[in-house]
Structure 1
Amino acid sequence: MLSQAMGFWGILLVWVCLEESWGQEQTRFIISAPVVFHVGVSENITVQAHGHTDAFDATISVKSYPDENVCYSSGSVNLSPENKFQNSTVLTIQAQQLSEGQSSFSFVYLEVVSKYFSKSEKKPIIYDNGSLFIHTDKPVYTPQQPGRVFVSSFRRELT
């Protein structure tokens, strides 16, 4: 009798574990974001969801680290069959939003929240942004034709 009860509970436990893993395989999500956030630069964040049939919204936020009390930038995306459950928003961290005490290399949290999933990840931020200006001596080149390329580097303060 005891072995029959143990067998039943063992099968039930395996079934419950499989049910959870099947559900996880059917509903997956991918968040594409820059590895490093640049202060003052518009950063594109893309969210993809797989295994869904009904449309839903997701909120994407960049929050203070480590307390998550201050929201520096946020946006909302709608994931639906029309956009194949893929959408993106652009977020920007402004320098004046950040506290004076932060070093030139700090962190923020990137948070994505929907009714189906929630994900938060620590991301580094960099304050020092620069620009690269590339100029060629001709607008169009043919194959095997030599050309000259001029590259100038500008700091953000100089542009």
Structure 2
Amino acid sequence: MILPRKVVAFLLLNTILSPSLFACAFHDLATDNLTEELSYTVGYYIKVGRTQGKIEEPNNDSMAMYLFLNSLNKQSGEATVFDFRQPIDGHVSTIDVTNKPKLVEYNPKRQVAMLITEMDILWGLAKGNFSWKWVKSEGLATINGSTEQRSELDKILSELYI
């Protein structure tokens, strides 16, 4: 009887103190789809696209983000910062395109545009498999924020991913 308690205690402690628990501090699955407009819709269309074979999932999300950030580097010099939310995976991060595109710490109090899509869509954009116009028409991404923020980010993505 004592052995199972020790095992349970060990597993519980291991889970609580596991480094993978802190690998992504941006999981917000409980409130994601409640607070971000169109998260459900985008997530649904991405799942449909995956099952229909329209979308290829990257083997490595880090490489997909690296390719996407490098593709943003070709931007026409406009400085912008936007949040990136994955409605299915629940990750949230901030992308700063002020100088060299990079990921910065997510700050929920910062009022910036939010790009809602999954990593496979960014990967497809970076590889030239998708145009931004096609991604929007298929419902695979949306931009939340003020009208000005949405139009600014939409313009940047439309110019980059033709």
Q: What range is the shorter-chain TM-score in?
A: under 0.3
Larger-Rg structure = 1
Bigger RCO (CA 8 Å, 6+ sep): 2
* Structure with greater helix percent: 2
